[in-house]
Amino acid sequence: LCSLFCSKRNSQPAAGGLLDSITNIFGRRSLNSFPTSHDCADSQAAGNREVRVPATAVYSFDAHDGEVNAVRFSPGSRLLATGGMDRRVKLWDVIGNKCEAKGSLTGSNAGITSIEFDSAGSYLLAASNDFASRIWTVDDYRLRHTLTGHSGKVLSAKFLLDNARIVSGSHDRTLKLWDLRSKVCIKTVFAGSSCNDIICTEQCVMSGHFDKKIRFWDIRTECIVRELELQGRITALDLNPERTQLLSCSRDDLIKITDLRANAVQQTFSAPGFKCGSDWTRVIFSPDGNYVSAGSAEGTLYFWNVLTGKMERMFSKHSSSINAVAWSPSGTHVVSVDRGSRGVLWSDF
C-alpha cells in the first residue's frame, strides 16, 4: 500500500499555497455536477439572513437511549438527524421551537459514530462501530447500502460532492473510497494512524488523526499532498463556505482555523473552561463562516467570533459532555447533543 503514496519530499506545496498545490481541486464541481434545488434553497436561506449566535435554549429532549454521538441538519430544510450508541439514526422535524420525532433508521449492529446527508438531502450516510457504513433513503427510511471492509470502527464517512462516491475513515488506520454505483470499495489507502474525522471536496479529502496530524489527500493520485501536525489528537474537521479555511478541534483543548491559501494557522480559539471531551468531539462553522461552535466536557456550549477571535457566548444547559453540534442552514437554530442521551435546541428568537 505504500506504493499508493507520492513521496513526501515531492509532494510539498509550492509557495502559492495549499490551494494552488492541489491545482485548484478545492471546491470544484465537475461539469456534470450541478447545484440541486436544495443547494440553492440552502444558499438563499443563509444568504438572506444574518446568522446570529443563539440567545437561549428553547427545547430539550431525549434523543437516544444512551450516548448521542452525531447530529446533522439536512441541507436547505428543517429536517434534523441524530445518531446514537443505541445503533439508531433518528430523524426529527424542527418546527418552531421544538424537535418532533419523525422516524428511525435501523440496521446498524453497533453505535453510530457520524452521520451526513447528501447534497440533495435524499440520502443519509452513517458510520458505525460495527466496522461498516450504511446509506438510507430519507423519504422511506429504507436501508439501501451496507459498505463493509474495514477491520476497525468506522469513525467518519462522508459523501464526495458528486454524491456517487463516499470516503470512510477507520480505527484500522485506513481510508476507503467507495463507488455507490457498484457498491464496492475502489481504493484503500493506509494513513498510518487511526482516523477520527474526514472532510471532503470534489478531489481532495482532509483527514484528522490520532497521531495529531491532518492529512490532505488528492483522490485522483491517492497522494498525500500535505500534512499538518498540531499539538493534540485531532477530533474534528470542518470547512468554511468558501472552502478557504479548515477548522479543527484537538485533545489539547484548542480549536484552530488553518488558512489553506497561506498554509498557516490563522486563528486559535480557547476558553478557561473549554475541554475537549473525547476523540470524536465535533466542531462546526456557522453557515456564513463567521462563527465557530463546540461543546465542552463539562456540558457547556461555546461560540467564538471568527473575525475577532473572541468568545461570543457560552451556555450551560447539558449535564454531561457535549459530543457534537449542528447549525441549521438558515442560521436560525443550533442543536447540541451529549453523552447522556440529551439534545438541546438553541435559537436567537
DSSP string, 285-332: E-TTSSEEEEE-TTSEEEEEETTT-SEEEEEE--SS-EEEEEE-TTSS
Residues 6+ away with beta carbon under 8 Å from 107: 134, 136, 143, 146
Q: Which cell goes with 262?
A: 497561506
Measured over all CA atoms, what is the biggest interatomic distance in the chain, rounded to whole angstroms? 55
CA 161 to chain centre: 14
Residue type, 67: E
Contact 117, 124 (CB under 8 A): yes
DSSP label at residue 86: T
- List, edge to edge, every strand of the sheet that includes 333-338: 56-62, 342-347, 333-338, 322-327
Q: Report how far residue 271's alpha carbon sits from residue 341's, in angstroms, rounded to the nearest whole number.
A: 25
Strand bridging mode 342-347 / 333-338: antiparallel
Q: All 3 cell numbers of residue 249?
A: 478541534
Q: Which residues, in sequence order, are bridge partners of residue 133?
A: 127, 147
Pair type for strands 123-128 and 132-137:
antiparallel
CA–CA distance, 340 with 317 (Å, rounded to integer)? 12
Which pLDDT value is given to residue 195?
98
How confident is the model at residue 203, as a pLDDT?
A: 78
pLDDT of the chain, 349 residues: tens digit per residue: 233 333 333 333 433 444 444 334 333 333 233 233 334 344 444 444 679 899 999 999 999 999 999 999 999 889 999 999 999 999 999 998 999 999 999 999 999 999 999 999 999 999 999 999 999 999 999 999 999 999 999 999 999 988 899 999 999 999 999 999 999 999 999 999 999 999 998 778 999 999 999 999 998 887 889 999 999 999 999 999 999 999 999 999 999 999 998 888 999 999 999 999 999 999 999 999 999 999 999 999 999 999 999 999 999 989 999 999 999 999 999 999 999 999 999 998 6
| Residue 93 contacts residue 100 (beta carbons within 8 Å) | yes
Backbone torsions φ then ψ of 332, nearest 5 degrees: -85, -25
Domains of the chain: 2-7+56-347 (2.130.10.10)
Backbone phi, psi, residue 18, to 5°: -60, -40
pTM above 0.95, yes or no: no
Closest-CA residue to 256 (of 244, 243, 270): 270
